[in-house]
């Protein structure tokens, strides 16, 4: 298992790349190819607890054709290539334990086409999710996948992201129709179409969704988008216990109420949010709700959920119906990660994100709470509990090895419990480097051998994002 305490490290000094390779990259990109240490450091540190593991160089691409040319040069000279989007990974996805070139796609940030009549848009991989929604809102449309961070669409595809709206609008897997991908040979292929369904051959789109940059480089994406709801209402509700809050979610989902969002935030996280966002929420286990639909539909949904809340001992809803109030409320939820970091200044976070069948959620969360109450480390819990997914943010002092060991112990227990409940070791963050051992436990050696066979068939030189998801030995 790869953990914070046994991951490989690399010196900040760059490996000497082949001179012909550097010359060819400079000829292709000019100043958009760099060996600068600050730039390499920036591309060698994410939101994970790991130290800086920098690439040997950084290349900034602007077109699919440039990406293909860069890939061909890397293949010719045997240089690893690591796709980089917005830098919001928390599992070490774009760190460079084997060196190579970080391929920064942030400059590929154009919304290529909007088709309101078909409810689709096509974007370059570097488009950020907030940017996308800003550019299409005049069409009366929005893209609902919301992982919290302002991630790039390409990165969200690579990690099979989901987020706060997944309970109603599902995940990236269900909302991507087509891709443009550069293969490890430097070829440009297109998967899928703008049609809503197809039975034509292998579903290559799904092969690349969730592949974490190890099979190909996603450069363009065609997405499903949705009409903006006629009415939106948001509310928060406090509960006497964590179990009561989670049981409310389970009953809401089992009754088929089409809520758009339902987020769980524990009392410690609420304390951090209040300090960070200057709010006055009750420091108790809390649910954040959002309802989408017609005026009557939203009212009906809210009344049904409020009844379930009362039966589970929850407080009355505190409503946020005006757009600015809703924005403030959800910004506070999205800022929870950064808010809880302030509970222990100078700390780093080990974050787990297990997902279990909805019927086992209360049991899993309650048992996890027992674990963390017995630990000396602050461990706030938040989660997209509408689809059985929750996160524990374990705060550790990076200078105390014993805290790192304790964090990994807690993390391993949480994952083991989720797997025993027929859940998964990661609901949305992906494997990266940190969860490689957990992937083996979840799927077994034979399934991993199939994954390795796919990797070897598509990337025989192991150039694309090596050292992620699984070892090739």
What pTM was computed for the model?
Answer: 0.93
Q: What dotted CATH number matches 19-104?
A: 3.30.43.10
Cβ atoms of 209 and 226 closer than 8 Å: no
Q: What dotted CATH number matches 111-227?
A: 3.30.465.10
Please tell me the chain's helix, strand, coil percentages from 3-state DSSP, rounded to the nearest 5. 40, 20, 40
pLDDT, tens digit, 9 for 90 and up, residues 274-301: 999 999 999 999 999 999 999 999 999 9
Cβ atoms of 469 and 34 closer than 8 Å: no
Q: What dotted CATH number matches 231-338?
A: 3.30.70.2190
Give the bridge partners for 55, in sequence order.
none
> Could you give the C-alpha distances from 230 to 121, 146, 215, 297, in angstroms and in order?
21, 19, 41, 10
User: Rounded CA gap, 125 and 121, in Å?
Assistant: 12
> Could you give the C-alpha distances from 135 to 15, 37, 144, in angstroms and in order?
41, 35, 14
Tokens of 106: 């942030």
Backbone angles phi, psi at 391, to 5 degrees: -120, 140
Per-residue DSSP letter, 229: P
User: Rounded CA gap, 217 and 158, in Å?
Assistant: 9
User: Rounded CA gap, 428 and 159, in Å?
Assistant: 7
Output the DSSP codes for 7-71. Answer: -----SSPP---HHHHHHHHHHHGGGEE--HHHHHHTT--SSSS-----SEEEE--SHHHHHHHH
User: Rounded CA gap, 337 and 351, in Å?
Assistant: 9
Output the DSSP codes for 82-127. Answer: EEESSS--SS-TT--TT--EEEE-TT---EEEEETTTTEEEEETT-
Cβ atoms of 80 and 184 closer than 8 Å: no
Residues belonging to the chain:
473
The residues, any chain, with a CB within 8 Å of residue 211's CB and separated by 6 or more, are 158
User: Rounded CA gap, 242 and 391, in Å?
Assistant: 14
User: Rounded CA gap, 257 and 304, in Å?
Assistant: 8
User: Rounded CA gap, 158 and 181, in Å?
Assistant: 11
User: Rounded CA gap, 81 and 87, in Å?
Assistant: 16
Q: Where are the domains of the chain?
A: 19-104, 111-227, 231-338
User: Rounded CA gap, 180 and 194, in Å?
Assistant: 12
Greatest extent of the chain over all pairs of C-alpha atoms, in Å = 71
**pLDDT value of position 14:** 62
Cβ atoms of 408 and 342 closer than 8 Å: no
Cβ atoms of 112 and 64 closer than 8 Å: no
Cβ atoms of 309 and 317 closer than 8 Å: yes
> Could you give the C-alpha distances from 394 to 85, 346, 391, in angstroms and in order?
25, 13, 9
**pLDDT value of position 5:** 46
Measured between its terminal Cα atoms, the distance across the chain in Å is 14
Cβ atoms of 341 and 395 closer than 8 Å: yes
Cβ atoms of 110 and 103 closer than 8 Å: no
3-state SS of 396-428 is ECCCCHHHHHHHHHHHHHHHHHHHHCCCECECC
User: Rounded CA gap, 329 and 318, in Å?
Assistant: 11
Of the candidates 325, 113, 306, 110, the residue with the CA atom closest to the CA atom of residue 222: 113
Per-residue DSSP letter, 194: S
User: Rounded CA gap, 292 and 451, in Å?
Assistant: 39
User: Rounded CA gap, 312 and 266, in Å?
Assistant: 16
Of the candidates 235, 302, 260, the residue with the CA atom closest to the CA atom of residue 170: 260
Per-residue DSSP letter, 200: S
Of the candidates 88, 96, 8, the residue with the CA atom closest to the CA atom of residue 59: 96
Low-confidence ranges of the chain (pLDDT < 50): 1, 4-5, 7
């Amino acid at each position: 298992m790869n953990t914070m305490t046994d991951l490989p490290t690399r010196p900040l000094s760059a490996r000497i790349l082949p001179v012909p390779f550097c010359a060819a990259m400079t000829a292709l990109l000019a100043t958009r190819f760099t060996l600068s240490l600050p730039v390499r450091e920036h591309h060698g540190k994410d939101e994970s607890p790991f130290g800086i593991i920098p690439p040997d160089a950084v290349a900034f691409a602007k077109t699919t054709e440039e990406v293909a040319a860069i890939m061909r040069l890397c293949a010719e000279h045997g240089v690893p290539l690591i796709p980089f989007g917005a830098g919001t990974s928390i599992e070490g996805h774009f760190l460079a334990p084997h060196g190579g070139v970080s391929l920064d796609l942030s400059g590929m940030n154009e919304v290529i086409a909007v088709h309101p009549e078909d409810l689709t848009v096509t974007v370059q991989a570097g488009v950020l999710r907030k940017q996308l929604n800003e550019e299409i809102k005049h069409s009366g449309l929005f893209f609902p996948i919301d992982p919290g961070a302002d991630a790039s669409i390409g990165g969200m595809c690579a990690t099979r992201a989901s987020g706060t709206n997944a309970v109603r609008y599902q995940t990236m897997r269900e909302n991507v129709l087509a891709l443009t991908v550069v293969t490890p040979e430097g070829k440009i292929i297109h998967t899928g179409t703008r049609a809503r369904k197809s039975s034509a051959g292998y579903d290559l789109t799904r092969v690349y969704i969730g592949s974490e940059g190890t099979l190909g480089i996603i450069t363009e994406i065609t997405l499903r988008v949705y009409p903006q709801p006629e009415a939106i209402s948001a509310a928060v509700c406090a509960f006497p216990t964590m179990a009561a809050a989670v049981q409310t979610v389970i009953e809401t989902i089992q009754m088929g109420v089409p809520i758009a969002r339902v987020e769980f935030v524990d009392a410690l996280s609420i304390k951090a949010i209040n300090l960070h966002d200057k709010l006055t929420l009750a420091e108790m286990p809390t649910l954040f709700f959002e309802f989408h639909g017609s005026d009557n539909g939203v009212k009906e949904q809210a009344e049904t959920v409020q009844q379930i809340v009362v039966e589970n001992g929850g407080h009355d809803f505190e409503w946020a119906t005006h757009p600015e109030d809703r924005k403030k409320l959800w910004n506070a939820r999205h800022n929870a990660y950064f808010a809880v970091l302030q509970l222990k200044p100078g700390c780093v976070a080990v974050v787990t994100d297990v997902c279990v069948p909805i019927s086992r959620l209360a049991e899993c969360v309650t048992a996890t709470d027992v674990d963390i109450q017995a630990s000396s480390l602050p461990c706030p819990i938040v989660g997209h509990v509408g689809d059985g997914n929750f996160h524990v943010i374990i705060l550790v002092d990076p200078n105390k090895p014993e805290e790192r060991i304790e964090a990994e112990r807690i993390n391993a227990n949480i994952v083991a419990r989720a797997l025993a409940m027929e859940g998964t070791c990661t609901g949305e963050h992906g494997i990266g480097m940190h969860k490689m051992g957990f992937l083996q436990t979840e799927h077994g050696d034979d399934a991993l051998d199939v994954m390795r066979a796919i990797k070897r068939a598509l990337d025989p030189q192991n150039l694309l994002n090596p050292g992620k998801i699984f070892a090739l030995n």
